Structure 1
Amino acid sequence: MNLNLKSLYMVLLLIFFVFLPMVFFILTQIPQRSILKDTISIITILAFFVVLLQFFLSNLNIGLKSIFQSSKIIKIHKILGYTAIPILLFHPFLIVVPRFFEVGPRPLDSFIKMITTFDSLAIIIGIIGWCLILLLGLTSILKDKLKMSYKAWKIFHGSLALVFIIFASWHSIETGRHMNLSMSILVILISLAASILLFKSYFTTNKNKG
């Protein structure tokens, strides 16, 4: 029975965090692009959904503990987190990589212009999102030095990740890249479910303190 639950849970995770994002990406009406650009987009989208997945592969998800060992959950959570965060941190640099193989502005010039275009809401939101994912990564590495209780850390870490998701989604919508209606609905629904897990953990913490 436990094995069946594990298999079902893994299948559901693959559907919502890998299969559907890729289907919606393929169905997005965007001009034909190079294989390199599409590869970079796919890697970035999957990294973004891995961050969303982290809410459900953590001890915030109490139901998960009855299916998987807590130590394994934490191990997988860390591996995925330390994989996705660097990819998202390099996202601004990956955008200009195709410029190395195109005729036009130099990659460095394109990058500088991109990050200094402050009259673009998409760029401003993107910079905020980048700072948030950097903070998320740094606080994860320095968790032991923050001297926070485990439950307080869960709330702080989860809240920071949720705020990042909001800004990252907003940035994608503003740029018009890959965030079609179907993808937006999927992100909103997953984010709402993640919020419920986070708030449930928060109220459980307060109740225990009381």
Structure 2
Amino acid sequence: MKLNAQPFVFALTATTFIGLPLLLYVQGEAPVRSWLKEGLSVLTILAFTLMLMQYFLARSNETLLRLFKGPSVQKVHKYIAYSAISILALHPFLIVLPRYFEAGIKPWDAFWIMVTNVNSLGVVLGLIAWAAMISLGITAYARTNMMRRFKNRYRGWRAFHAFLAVSFTVVAIWHAIELGRHTDLAMSSFFLVIATLGVGMLAGLYRPERTRKSPPAPLDTTFPQGAK
């Protein structure tokens, strides 16, 4: 009887990118706040984790492509990425959303103070990560037109897409470690391990291509002019 590995892959994916971050969140030592604030924190953590999952829904994951059809993997990659980007794009606004239900500073005043606090490294990193993520989403959506701007068309755009993805990942994790309420040692380690594995797989995809593009020069077996 031939075993079907697809259910195992689904279970492993759900456990790694949903179950594990939720477990780390529950076991964290951050003081519990209102249901709204905690719910928004969980939503943000899961959205970011799903962004990291995109490294494993790419051509670099040869095992996944052997189990599932390439177009299906690409479709899942696209839908999950756009959904996660939509949530994370609202992250700065969701931070001040609970202030609508609290006394004190008005939400938009709090938002303006937050995004203009350039003396905070965490805030600056967050703004850079947000801009990189929006650029990542827009250029992915407009990839057909973007490809025309690159000499190697698809390969050129794919390299640009990978550069934006890695840049966003590095800065976003740094931002989370600097300011994240729930990014304790365990959660930070989880993000770093997943990101390292994902970027490593991506680098492994490009290394063979660079080798193929630059083969060793063939030996010149022709005789120089005048030789007998």
TM-score, scaled to structure 1? 0.95
How far apart are residue 12 of structure 1 and its match? 1.3
SS in 2 for 1:40: helix
| Deviations 1:75-132 (CA, angstroms, capped at 9, x unpaired) | 1011101101011111000111000000010001000000011111110111011111
In 1, distance between residues paired with 2:163 and 2:3?
Answer: 32
State which of 190, 197, 218 in structure 2 corresponds to 1:193. Answer: 197
Equivalent position of 1:61 in the other structure:
61
CA contact (8 A) 1:159 1:198 kept: no
Contact 1:59 1:65 in 2 (8 A): yes
Question: Contact conserved, 2:32 with 2:38, CA < 8 A, in 1?
Answer: no
Please tell me the residue identity of whatever aligns with 1:103: A
User: Quick one: percent identity of the two aligned structures?
Assistant: 38
Report the CA distance between 1:156 and its aligned residue. 2.3
Q: Which amino acid aligns with 1:110?
A: A
Q: Give the match for residue 203 of structure 1.
A: 207
Q: Which has the higher helix share?
A: 1
Residues 38-77 of structure 1: matches in 2 within 5 Å? 38-77=38-77
Structure number with larger C-alpha Rg: 2
Superposed CA deviations along residues 54-74 of structure 1, whole A, max 9, x for unmatched, are 111122212211100001001
What corresponds to 1:171 in structure 2?
A: 175
**2:31 maps to amino acid:** P
Tell me the residue number matched to 2:8. Answer: 8
Separation in 1, partners of 2:204, 2:156: 13
Offset at residue 184 of structure 1 (A): 1.4
Could you say what secondary structure the match of 1:84 adopts?
Answer: helix
Letter in 2 for 1:204: P
* Gap change, CA 1:62 and 1:151, over 3 Å in 2: farther
The AA in structure 2 aligned to 1:184 is: S
The alignment partner of 1:118 has SS state of: coil
For the pair 1:107 / 2:111, whether they are aligned, the reply is no
User: Closer, same or farther in 2 for the Cα pair 1:41/1:176, shift >3 Å?
Assistant: closer
Aligned length: 210
Alignment partner for residue 152 of structure 1, among 156, 170, 175? 156
Q: Contact between 1:133 and 1:164, CA under 8 Å: does it hold in 2?
A: yes
2:187 matched residue in structure 1: 183
Quick one: which amino acid aligns to residue 99 of structure 1? R
Q: Give distance in 2, aligned partners of 1:9 and 1:163.
A: 28
Distance 1:209 1:186 in 2: 35
Deviation of the 1:150 alpha carbon: 2.7
Q: What's the CA shift for 1:4?
A: 2.6
1-side partners of 2:201 and 2:180: how far apart? 29
Paired with 2:108 and 2:146, the residues of 1 have a C-alpha distance of 36
Letter in 2 for 1:66: R
Structure 2 CA distance for partners of 1:174 and 1:2, relative to 1, 3 Å: farther
Q: Give how far 1:171 is off.
A: 0.8
* Alpha-carbon distance in structure 1 between the residues aligned to 2:154 and 2:48: 25
Match of 1:139 in 2: 139
Q: Counterpart amino acid of 1:203?
A: R
| Aligned-residue CA RMSD (Å) | 1.5
Tell me the distance in 2 between the aligned counterparts of 1:138 and 1:195: 21
Deviations 1:22-56 (A, max 9, x none): 11111111122010011111111111011100111
Correspondence 1:80 to 2:80: yes
